[in-house]
């Protein structure tokens, strides 16, 4: 992802969520938006909004192939969250369809939870990105709850433990909502650049691109602000420019501090 972002001079990941529509129209619209915006992106993210109507080895694979043709990485936002055996099969299907990475939920734990996902990812040379703090308001009820750390017996926020797990499991990324720059900062202090931060929630959910990257987000996941814009290409460029500028300023500050 780092080399893709460098090459494309963008850290924007497009969430291609087009709502409920007829499958053929969804596919046509998806390809049209991708064609219009790809120059301002480093990757594409899909979720079950696309897989359910289009089918994984049908329309979704056509979108993945198009993304690859346009030199974009692809992420499946599956939020994998079941027992290990099921998780392994889910991840393997997504990787076989061509996705470069999947998003998984750490609430299921490692043993008979996410371990099989990391195993299949390693075997197939793909990525696993874990949720650490979600972008929506209710995130505080789960990711923000105080829990007892089994190592220290101290009460700590759930997201802190998830950030430590992302490090320990050698995850390829951690999802932290762009809507909470202070959480990005706090989680970045735990991850120390060893696990990249992916931040959804820019625009419609209230997050600001520049604030998120200045707080430490490496990549921004943007959906409705781009796909529902009158001119998706212009909007993608606008968000990319703000994020890229923020990233450059932040990196300069980091260099001076070092």
Hey, which residues between 11 and 30 contact ligand XMP (CB under 6 A)? 15, 17
Residue 100 to residue 233: CA distance in whole angstroms: 24
Query: Which of 5, 50, 54, 103 touches ligand XMP by CB under 6 A?
Result: 103
Does 224 participate in binding ligand XMP (rule CB under 6 A)?
Answer: yes
β-strand pairing of 219-222 with 43-46: unpaired
The single residue of 79, 96, 248, 258 carrying the catalytic annotation is 79
Q: Quick check: is 79 catalytic?
A: yes
Query: Which of 84, 201, 216, 232 touches ligand XMP by CB under 6 A?
Result: 201
Q: How far is CA 84 from CA 124, 163, 168, in A?
A: 17, 21, 18
Other beta carbons within 10 angstroms of residue 251's beta carbon come to: 11
Residue 47 to residue 207: CA distance in whole angstroms: 20
Does 84 participate in binding ligand XMP (rule CB under 6 A)?
Answer: no
The residue (of 220 and 254) whose beta carbon lies closer to ligand XMP is: 220
The residue (of 7 and 231) whose beta carbon lies closer to ligand XMP is: 231
Q: Measuring CA to CA, which residue among 162, 110, 161, 108 is closest to residue 132?
A: 162
Hey, which residues between 161 and 190 contact ligand XMP (CB under 6 A)? 175, 177
The residue (of 48 and 123) whose beta carbon lies closer to ligand XMP is: 48
How many residues sit in the footprint of ligand XMP (CB under 6 A)? 21
> Which residues would be at the binding site for ligand XMP (CB under 6 A)?
15, 17, 47, 77, 79, 103, 131, 134-135, 175, 177, 200-201, 203-205, 221-225
| Residues belonging to the active site | 79
């Amino acid at each position: 992802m780092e080399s893709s972002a460098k090459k494309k001079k963008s850290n924007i990941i497009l969430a291609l969520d087009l709502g409920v529509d007829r499958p053929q129209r969804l596919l046509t619209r998806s390809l049209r938006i991708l064609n219009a915006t790809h120059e301002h992106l480093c990757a594409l993210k899909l979720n079950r909004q696309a897989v359910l109507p289009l089918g994984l080895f049908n329309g979704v694979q056509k979108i993945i192939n198009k993304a690859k043709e346009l030199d974009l990485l692809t992420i499946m936002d599956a939020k994998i969250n079941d027992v290990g055996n099921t998780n392994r099969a889910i991840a393997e299907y997504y990787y076989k369809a061509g996705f470069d990475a999947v998003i998984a939920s750490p609430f299921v734990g490692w043993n008979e939870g996410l371990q099989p996902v990391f195993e299949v990812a390693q075997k197939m040379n793909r990525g696993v990105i874990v949720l650490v703090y979600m972008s929506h308001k209710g995130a505080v009820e789960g990711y923000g709850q105080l829990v007892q750390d089994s190592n220290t017996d101290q009460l700590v926020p759930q997201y802190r433990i998830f950030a430590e797990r992302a490090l320990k499991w050698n995850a390829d990324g951690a999802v932290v909502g762009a809507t909470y720059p202070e959480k990005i900062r706090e989680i970045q202090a735990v991850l120390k650049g060893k696990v990249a931060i992916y931040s959804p929630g820019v625009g419609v959910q209230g997050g600001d691109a520049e604030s998120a990257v200045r707080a430490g987000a490496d990549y921004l996941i943007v959906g409705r602000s781009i796909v529902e814009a009158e001119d998706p290409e212009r909007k993608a460029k606008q968000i990319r420019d703000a994020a890229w500028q923020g990233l450059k300023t932040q990196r300069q500050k980091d260099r001076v501090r070092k």
